[in-house]
């Protein structure tokens, strides 16, 4: 079991296994948040502190909401606005302990232009 949490601990996300790979996206929001994404099906993520301790930011094509802790401001995860169309969620892997991420491949994604992996 792996746990990710914001700095103050108000938001916690628990998954059963490490992701196959991580995604470093260069879109305008991801690069500003310095996020490193791990993707999971929403049904496999245990959440505590969400939604009561999070605020959402929605932008661009309005397909996802990026969630932040209300107290410490850490970007914790994103989720689809329309859960009927997508059950994928992105956890900000920088909220895991660093040892959890050792050896996991990081893929570069061009979310700013081509919307394709560039690694």
Extract the tokens encoding 3: 């746990």
pTM of the model: 0.94
Q: How does pLDDT run across 45-75, given as a tens digit for each residue?
A: 999 999 999 999 998 778 899 999 999 999 9
Radius of gyration of the chain (CA): 13
Q: What percent of the chain has pLDDT over 90?
A: 91
Which residue from 95, 93, 61, 63 is spatially nearest to 79, judged by alpha carbons?
63
Give SS3 for 95. helix
What residues have CB less than 8 Å from 30, skipping those under 6 apart?
Answer: 24, 37, 111
Percent of the chain with pLDDT over 70: 100
Mean confidence (pLDDT) of the chain: 96
Residue 114 confidence (pLDDT) above 90: yes
Is 90 exceeded by the pLDDT of residue 91? Answer: yes
Return the CATH number of the domain spanning residue range 2-117: 2.170.150.70
Distance from C-alpha of 27 to C-alpha of 48, rounded to nearest angstrom: 28
């Amino acid at each position: 079991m792996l746990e990710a949490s914001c700095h103050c601990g108000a938001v916690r996300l628990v998954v059963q296994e490490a992701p196959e790979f991580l995604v470093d996206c260069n879109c305008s929001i991801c690069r500003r948040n310095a996020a490193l994404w791990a993707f999971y099906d929403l049904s496999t993520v245990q959440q505590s502190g969400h939604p009561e301790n999070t605020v959402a930011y929605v932008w661009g094509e309005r397909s996802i909401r990026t969630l932040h802790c209300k107290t410490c401001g850490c970007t914790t995860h994103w989720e689809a606005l329309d859960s009927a169309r997508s059950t994928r969620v992105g956890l900000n892997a920088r909220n895991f302990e660093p040892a959890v991420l050792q050896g996991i491949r990081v893929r570069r994604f061009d979310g700013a232009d081509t919307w394709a992996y560039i690694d």
